[in-house]
Chain A
Amino acid sequence: MPSLQLSDEGRLRHLLSIDGLPRERIVQLLDRAEALRVAAERGHLKLPILRGRTVVNLFFEDSTRTRTTFQLAAERLSADVVNLDVARSSTSKGESLLDTLATLAAMRCDLFVVRHPQSGAAHFIASHAPAGISVLNAGDGRNAHPTQALLDVYTIRRHKGPDFSGLKVTVVGDVLHSRVARSNLQALAALGVGELRVVGPRTLVPEHLDELGVQRHDRLDDGLADADVVIMLRLQKERMRGALLPSEGEFYRLYGLTRERLARAKPDCIVMHPGPINRGVEIESEVADGPQSVILEQVGNGLYIRMAVMAQILGDQVLDSEREGQSA
């Protein structure tokens, strides 16, 4: 089945999901992010790569954090940015999703960064997008959050090197409802990670993850043994409907990452979290703020990854400008 994400010539037209993205593409994006980081460290914070292009943040779900990062990424590339807060837009007055899109498309916007509460929303929008319009999935329901996964594997690469085959990575928490978890598992599998483990109560972990070669563990201690990387997920209250957990307290008792528990992992195990963190629910403050935590670095890396993705989607002609920025 032809991928919706890639154009006929094999260019990245949309970024909807890590699922279906070849390894080389992922590595290419990580390399590009690295180049942008280097340019920034040399003082080239703002690059003219996307000057004259318009990026629209189409957020159907509240998220000041992520939207701000995308906005900043677009502005650092000199794009014009439009923020569409759907709650106040005409979509809440009954205008259909596609009509909203068509209106924006008529105003010559190049890239839609979309966050939506339903799985498949980005795919739906991309499959109806007119030619010349690209879609970047900033999170759709529980399905995918590709830029989060890219920044996570980029972070891992910076600490553990490009060869993932010897790594043991453990993902802990509400995997069932987590698009971050889904995208991360797919990215790690694509990059050939040695061992992939998932830890959580069975009400919050899907049964059918064997496709990706994932081991499920009921107990955190088993899942953390000799881990090189642990990714803690936020307990997503807004996504849980019905009785999936008795209490946050019990979750912390069973799955909370404390210093004591972290000691089961390798001494140089890095601690990750997509944020925002719930202190005392999935992670102990001392761990979140401790020497093994790379949580704040993830946020910074997210900016370069998003810049890299936007630059990649909106055209390869930008490569020359970047190189100029690097060598100057």
Chain B
Amino acid sequence: MRPILIRRALLQPQAQRVDVRIADGHYQAIGASVPALPDDQIIEADDLWLMPGVADPLTRLREPGQTHKTTIAREARAALARGITWLGMAPDTQPPIESRAVLELVDNRARSAGGAGVRAICAITRDQGLAELAGLQSAGAALAADVGTPIQDSGLLRRALLYAASVSMPVLLQPIDLSLQGDGVAHNGPVAARLGLAGIPVSAETVAVARIVLLAEESGAQVLIGPLSCADSLPLIAQAQARGVNVSAMVSTLQLSLNELDLYPFRAYLHLQPPLRTEGDREALLQAVRHGLISVLCSDHQPHDVDAQLAPFPETAVGASTLDAHLGLGLRLVQRGELGLAEFIERACLAPRRWLGLAAAAFTVGSPADCILLDPHRDVALTISTLLSGGRNSPFLGWRLPGQIRLAVRETQCWQPESAT
């Protein structure tokens, strides 16, 4: 990797003009004016924003076990090209990341992949019992998660949280009461009523949020709840936080960008859990992101192969492929004035790192380089041929999203558009 000298970029969110030289995966020089060295690749960045790379704390990378959908390597490379320098990988692979063996396999794949860094998130339970959280922690897991089909037995969940607290392992919990979700495939609202789709009531999430918040309180565990979909979940979390419970909240950029009306009629790739809810829910979630009640943004990326989605709506696989759109959706919200840039950077680039056990992305001389350079005035068109992820099920096909990436760097991994070098 040639040394790179970025000139006069607008460092965000400080809105400061800065020169940065990156060499050997580190920031070698940062200042108002850094002199060029003979070997430097110079990027004139007057029109460009310089930001920490996005850290996406919840993605499915399908390896091991479902590599017909995609692979760690493919997603890691796609991520970097989309401005995401770190991925948190959910443990519900086949087999799940509930043992050191699988964790090490994933780590090896991630290291040889290049592109974005991948942090494996381990499971909380194993075979109706507890996973070896301490062992997994020493093998590198910084976060444990219960997502997809979460634990329904309250007693087991309580013990798991007590144990996680004992070893100081933070925990990500997806709030779903499966008996209330039933065979629902869409929000239990006017759209589902009109289309004859089995509905998922709000209580499928709020009952689970209430349970999680109360058990977090009793156990003393550090808990991240999400991804959320309901406005009614927010007061439960706010009240718990006010009582001093160590609970935080997360939402996906997809939930902040669409609502149930986008389903009509039977639009493919929007069979989601949690489902898209009303516009009122979306606005409440956005407001919570603005004010920090929701402190973490994710993509909730769930890539699928083509066949998984070629069926009537209720029979399609759950989840949307959102890696390609994640950063763009965030910038779109910023452009529309629905979210401040500083808030977006904090929730999408900085806060997730703390949960994934990553070092803060500091712009200081000597720190590992971890940043993106983007043109906020140029759009990216998402089409079937421009998708980088292996997931074909993007609900954003045909959209133009702001923020063309001109450079993405994670230590010695570097991505630029082909035209650049």
A residues contacting B by CB (< 8 A) are 1, 4, 17, 19-20, 96-98, 116, 118-121, 123-124, 128, 140-144, 179, 182, 206-211, 241-242
Give chain A residues whose Cβ lies under 8 Å from the Cβ of B198.
142
Contact of A97 among B183, B199, B311 (CB under 8 A): B311
Contact of B312 among A124, A144, A210 (CB under 8 A): A124
Contact across chains for A118 and B188 when beta carbons are under 8 A apart: no
Question: Closest B-chain residue to A179, C-beta based?
Answer: B196
Contact across chains for B314 and A141 when beta carbons are under 8 A apart: yes
Contact across chains for B197 and A119 when beta carbons are under 8 A apart: yes
Determine how close the nearest CB of chain B comes to the CB of A122; give it in whole angstroms. 8
Assuming the A-B contacts A118-B312, A124-B266, are A96 and B307 also in contact, with contact meaning beta carbons closer than 8 angstroms in the complex?
yes
Q: Given A118-B312, A119-B314, A121-B312, 10 other A-B contacts at CB below 8 A?
A: A1-B264, A96-B307, A97-B310, A119-B312, A120-B265, A120-B313, A120-B314, A141-B314, A207-B188, A208-B193
Output the residue of B188, B196, B307, B313 with the most chain A CB within 10 A: B196
B342 part of interface (Cβ distance < 8 Å): no
Contact across chains for A118 and B315 when beta carbons are under 8 A apart: yes
The distance in angstroms between the C-alpha atoms of A210 and B193, with both chains bound, is: 10
Give chain B residues whose Cβ lies under 8 Å from the Cβ of A4.
265
Give chain A residues whose Cβ lies under 8 Å from the Cβ of B193.
206-209, 211
Assuming the A-B contacts A19-B265, A96-B307, A123-B265, are A118 and B313 also in contact, with contact meaning beta carbons closer than 8 angstroms in the complex?
yes
Contact of A144 among B183, B189, B196 (CB under 8 A): B196
B336 part of interface (Cβ distance < 8 Å): no
Contact of A119 among B182, B307, B313 (CB under 8 A): B313
Give chain A residues whose Cβ lies under 8 Å from the Cβ of B65.
none
Contact of B310 among A1, A20, A96, A208 (CB under 8 A): A96
Output the residue of B197, B307, B312 with the most chain A CB within 10 A: B312
- Measured as residues with beta carbon below 8 angstroms from the partner, the interface class of chain B is 20 to 34
Determine how close the nearest CB of chain B comes to the CB of A21; give it in whole angstroms. 13
Question: Closest B-chain residue to A186, C-beta based?
Answer: B194
Contact across chains for A123 and B266 when beta carbons are under 8 A apart: yes
B190 part of interface (Cβ distance < 8 Å): yes
Give chain B residues whose Cβ lies under 8 Å from the Cβ of A17.
265
Contact across chains for B196 and A124 when beta carbons are under 8 A apart: no
Interface digits, B162-198 against A, CB 8 Å rule (1 contact, 0 not)?
Answer: 0000000000000000000011000011101111111
A interface secondary structure, majority: loop
Question: Closest A-chain residue to B271, C-beta based?
Answer: A120
Contact of B194 among A116, A121, A124, A211 (CB under 8 A): A211
B interface secondary structure, majority: loop
Determine how close the nearest CB of chain B comes to the CB of A181; give it in whole angstroms. 9
Interface digits, B247-284 against A, CB 8 Å rule (1 contact, 0 not)?
Answer: 00000000000000000111000000000000000000
Determine how close the nearest CB of chain B comes to the CB of A289; give it in whole angstroms. 31
The distance in angstroms between the C-alpha atoms of A123 and B312, with both chains bound, is: 8
Give chain A residues whose Cβ lies under 8 Å from the Cβ of B199.
206
The distance in angstroms between the C-alpha atoms of A211 and B310, with both chains bound, is: 30
Output the residue of B199, B266, B315 with the most chain A CB within 10 A: B266
Contact across chains for A242 and B310 when beta carbons are under 8 A apart: no
Give chain B residues whose Cβ lies under 8 Å from the Cβ of A19.
194, 265
Give chain B residues whose Cβ lies under 8 Å from the Cβ of A141.
196, 312, 314
The distance in angstroms between the C-alpha atoms of A144 and B315, with both chains bound, is: 17
Contact across chains for A98 and B190 when beta carbons are under 8 A apart: no
Give chain A residues whose Cβ lies under 8 Å from the Cβ of B188.
207-208
Give chain B residues whose Cβ lies under 8 Å from the Cβ of A182.
194, 196
The distance in angstroms between the C-alpha atoms of A142 and B314, with both chains bound, is: 11
Contact of B266 among A120, A206, A207, A241 (CB under 8 A): A120
Give chain B residues whose Cβ lies under 8 Å from the Cβ of A128.
310
Question: Closest B-chain residue to A177, C-beta based?
Answer: B196
Give chain A residues whose Cβ lies under 8 Å from the Cβ of B190.
208, 210-211
Interface residues of B in 311-352 (CB under 8 A from A): 311-315
Contact across chains for A124 and B313 when beta carbons are under 8 A apart: yes
Output the residue of A4, A208, A209 with the most chain B CB within 10 A: A208
The distance in angstroms between the C-alpha atoms of A120 and B313, with both chains bound, is: 6
The distance in angstroms between the C-alpha atoms of A48 and B194, with both chains bound, is: 38
Interface digits, B102-133 against A, CB 8 Å rule (1 contact, 0 not)?
Answer: 00000000000000000000000000000000
Interface residues of B in 195-213 (CB under 8 A from A): 195-199
Q: Which 10 pairs across A and B sit closest by C-beta, in order of nearness?
A: A143-B196, A142-B196, A120-B266, A120-B313, A121-B312, A118-B312, A208-B190, A208-B193, A206-B193, A119-B196
Assuming the A-B contacts A123-B265, A124-B266, are A116 and B196 also in contact, with contact meaning beta carbons closer than 8 angstroms in the complex?
no
Assuming the A-B contacts A98-B310, A211-B190, are A120 and B197 also in contact, with contact meaning beta carbons closer than 8 angstroms in the complex?
yes
Contact across chains for B182 and A242 when beta carbons are under 8 A apart: yes
The distance in angstroms between the C-alpha atoms of A143 and B192, with both chains bound, is: 9
Give chain A residues whose Cβ lies under 8 Å from the Cβ of B312.
97, 116, 118-121, 123-124, 140-141
Contact across chains for B183 and A241 when beta carbons are under 8 A apart: yes
Determine how close the nearest CB of chain B comes to the CB of A99; give it in whole angstroms. 10
The distance in angstroms between the C-alpha atoms of A242 and B198, with both chains bound, is: 13
Give chain A residues whose Cβ lies under 8 Å from the Cβ of B264.
1
Determine how close the nearest CB of chain A comes to the CB of B197; give it in whole angstroms. 5
The distance in angstroms between the C-alpha atoms of A209 and B195, with both chains bound, is: 11
The distance in angstroms between the C-alpha atoms of A242 and B195, with both chains bound, is: 21
Q: List 14 A-B contacts (CB under 8 A).
A: A1-B264, A98-B310, A116-B312, A118-B314, A120-B195, A121-B312, A123-B313, A124-B313, A140-B312, A141-B312, A206-B193, A208-B192, A211-B190, A211-B193
Determine how close the nearest CB of chain A comes to the CB of B398; give it in whole angstroms. 13
Interface digits, B226-266 against A, CB 8 Å rule (1 contact, 0 not)?
Answer: 00000000000000000000000000000000000000111
